[in-house]
Structure 1
């Protein structure tokens, strides 16, 4: 747990209500809490909170009516009698890290053991992700129910936005220049893969190239936070996986490969 004093907590509470609050506005709000702090000192505090990654993004809260236009489904899960606590924690972590999951909770003393709410643009996307979850945790789940829902109120459903668009644009320019400059192809691909990871703040980026002689996707680079890539995924026949249709049709598709 980060070490926060009463001033930090006060600033975070104010920003949570309105992330666009200025230093002057926050200073005035703090004074009502009997905390005396200049607007300059407020901005210095916020900068430190950003550096420590306590503040990770600035967001907006959408009107629930926007969400009702999407596909919203509540899923109830029944666990196996001998459910492994480690698997339950893995499910917790998976849903916690999933932007499409608005709510996830364990249930005690009911017919079901777990509930979560998923929101997608289309029902097809929901069906695909439900299949992924049920397959990944089949050793944990003994039964489930799906209920379409209409959200009346929820807090928060937020979209993070990039607070430094110029930085991202410069990174995109750097990637483009790296591909067009002269030099060793392998080194350019290495730089390209690493720059993509930094640009999108991804945990891991893998790059496959198409071997036209064998019709296989051959992994050439991988950077980021990963332990290892199984050998069977180093060379994949693109005709046997969903993503292969992108190569064949040159059109985007929904895939979970």
Structure 2
């Protein structure tokens, strides 16, 4: 069965794309866990729906509009990041306003139901060569940024006072991280789904945290779990003809449960 699937172009496209984004998922998810940015991830992913609505209205490339909206959203959130009275409340308001605008715009379009379903839950099995090129390019750029900037991101995560003492512009570094995160989410959400991409980032990182002893170990383990969940989830979805995005998330959660039980037994 597996050998037969490897001869199918749609399966290979999906497999390659998922493995590529998994290389960045472990590190980004770990930084999100350390900085407690889970709700921010949801806000960024939900903003992608506005990009999809605008792409349908103006008949332009979906990836471009999603990335533009996600980056604009990240910049908007970073403007008063430290001055918000309640960060969660502000994120909740902005997210729901963006979602409302998106749904209103889509209500004026014909035949958008399938597009909305694919946007919410992903459409990884319908990728073409151009999709793979886009995903690969963005993921490689994100990985390079992670390698070059991980120390600064880690410093502002652990101790902002130390970062300031070292002459690091905390606000700029945070904005830098948010923009890179938003671009990655905008691209990856087209595979995993707007509703599920944050879970795809966070669950492997949360699982890795159970057994990792250092930040580097956590990133490596989270990356491995992410790749394993992506591959096994894809296989399950094709085998049983079920939605790929939700299957990958459930598979990732299964690995989390197994590691949690392993930790309990070991202690």
TM-score, normalization: structure 1?
Answer: 0.24
Q: Normalized per residue, which structure has more strand? A: 1
TM-score, length of structure 2 as denominator length? 0.23
Structure that is richer in helix per residue: 2
Greater relative CO (CA pairs within 8 A, separation 6+): 2
